[in-house]
Amino acid sequence: MEADFVIVGAGSAGSALAARLSEDGRNSVIVIEYGGTDMGPFIRMPAALSYPMNMSLYDWRYESEPEPQLNNRRLAAPRGKVIGGSSSINGMVFVRGHAADFDHWQESGARGWAFADVLPYFKRMETAHRRGGGVDRRWRGSEGPVHVQRGRLDNPLFSAFIEAGRQAGFGTTDDYNGWRQEGFGASEQSIHRGRRWSAADAYLTPALKRNNVSLLKGFATRIVIENQRATAVEVEAHGKLQRVGARREVILAASAFNSPKLLMMSGIGPAAHLAEHGIEVVADRPGVGSNLQDHLEVYIQQECIEPITLNGHLNLVSKAMIGAQWLFLRQGLGTSNQFEAGGFVRSRAGVRYPDIQFHFLPGAIRYDGKAAAEGHGFQAHVGPMRSAARGTVRLKSREPRRAPEIRFNYMSGENDWRDFRHCVRLTREIFAQPAFDRWRGAEIAPGAGVESDAEIDAFLREHTESAYHPCGTCKMGAPDDPMAVVDSDTRVIGVAGLRVADSSIFPRITNGNLNAPSIMTGEKAADHILGRSLPRAEDLEPWINPDWQSTDRLKR
Q: How far apart are CA 57 and CA 77, in angstroms?
A: 15
Q: What is the mean pLDDT of the chain?
A: 97
Are 259 and 199 in a shared domain?
yes
Per-residue pLDDT at 482: 96
Are 81 and 220 in a shared domain?
yes
Are 439 and 502 in a shared domain?
no
Residue 396 forms part of a structural domain: no
Q: How far apart are CA 179 and CA 99, in angstroms?
A: 9
| Mean pLDDT for the stretch of residues 379-397 | 98
| Mean pLDDT for the stretch of residues 218-227 | 98
Residue 545 forms part of a structural domain: no
Q: How far apart are CA 63 and CA 76, in angstroms?
A: 4
> Angle at Cα 365 formed by Cα 364 and Cα 366, nearest 5°?
140
Are 56 and 120 in a shared domain?
yes
Q: What percent of the chain has pLDDT over 90?
A: 96
Helices 115-125 and 99-107, axial angle in degrees (round to 10): 130
Are 267 and 369 in a shared domain?
no
Are 437 and 347 in a shared domain?
yes
Radius of gyration, alpha carbons of the chain: 23
Residues in CB range of 481: below 8 A, 6 or more apart: 109, 287, 475
Per-residue pLDDT at 131: 82
- Judge contact between 298 and 423, C-beta under 8 A: yes
In the chain, the number of structural domains is: 2
Are 316 and 281 in a shared domain?
no
Per-residue pLDDT at 281: 98
Residue 503 forms part of a structural domain: yes
- pLDDT tens sequence across 429-467: 999 999 999 999 999 999 999 999 999 999 999 999 999
- pLDDT tens sequence across 340-364: 999 999 999 999 999 999 999 999 9
Are 362 and 453 in a shared domain?
yes
Are 76 and 171 in a shared domain?
no
Per-residue pLDDT at 508: 98
Q: How far apart are CA 253 and CA 479, in angstroms?
A: 20
The CATH number for 177's domain is: 3.30.410.40
Per-residue pLDDT at 366: 76
* Higher pLDDT, residue 365 or 513: 513
Are 307 and 284 in a shared domain?
no
Are 457 and 525 in a shared domain?
no
Query: Would the pTM count as exceeding 0.95?
Result: yes
Per-residue pLDDT at 256: 98
- Judge contact between 355 and 384, C-beta under 8 A: yes
- pLDDT tens sequence across 120-169: 999 999 999 998 778 999 999 999 999 999 999 999 999 999 999 999 99
Does position 372 have pLDDT exceeding 90, yes or no? Answer: no
* Higher pLDDT, residue 239 or 552: 552
Per-residue pLDDT at 133: 77
Residue 143 forms part of a structural domain: no
Residue 329 forms part of a structural domain: yes
Q: Among candidates 396, 405, 379, 403, which has minimal Cα distance to 465? A: 379
Q: From residue 552, give the alpha-carbon distance in Å to each of 100, 101, 352, 389, 541.
A: 17, 19, 9, 23, 20
| Mean pLDDT for the stretch of residues 60-88 | 98
Per-residue pLDDT at 134: 82
The CATH number for 222's domain is: 3.50.50.60
Are 202 and 179 in a shared domain?
no
* Structural domain harbouring 416: 152-186+296-384+412-463
- Judge contact between 536 and 288, C-beta under 8 A: no
Residue 392 forms part of a structural domain: no
Residue 302 forms part of a structural domain: yes
Residue 401 forms part of a structural domain: no
Cite the active site residues: 469
